[in-house]
Amino acid sequence: RTATVWKTLSPFWGEEYEVHLQPTFHSVSIYVMDEDALSRDDVIGKVCITRDMLAEHPKGYSGWVSLSEVDPDEEVQGEIHLRVEVLGSQGGRRLRCTVLEAR
């Protein structure tokens, strides 16, 4: 979970995470949350990084990705600027995902 960026509609994070990929993985999801001080945090939307997306971009991907809904009854607007790279070999692959900014 990243740090909360308060009082802006265009937050900047610059945080980086590495996830060890299982050989049979299908996707990795990034959830965007609205942190509330007095109630439960709301899920705004999510981005899925799929095995197919990584296969289409073997040298990595950098760009804006639109959020998709988590709850089908909620309208979702927004996107995340991501940089995604696969590191290592088939035996020990890691996914490096840098969350740059969101809007």
- The overall average pLDDT reported for the chain is 86
56 located within any domain: yes
20 located within any domain: no
Q: How confident is the model at residue 3 (pLDDT cuts 50, 70, 90)?
A: confident
Residue range(s) defining the domain that contains residue 66: 27-76
Looking up tokens 């290592």, which residue turns up?
Answer: 88
Range in 6-10, 17-21, 66-70, 73-77 with the lowest mean pLDDT: 17-21
**Helix (H), strand (E) at residue 27:** strand 27-34
Alpha helices in the chain (DSSP H): 51-56
Q: What's the rounded Cα separation, in Å, for the pair 97 and 95? A: 6
Q: What's the rounded Cα separation, in Å, for the pair 81 and 67? A: 11
6 located within any domain: no
Residue 68: the pLDDT is 94
67 located within any domain: yes
44 located within any domain: yes
Instruction: Count structural domains, the chain.
Output: 1
10 located within any domain: no
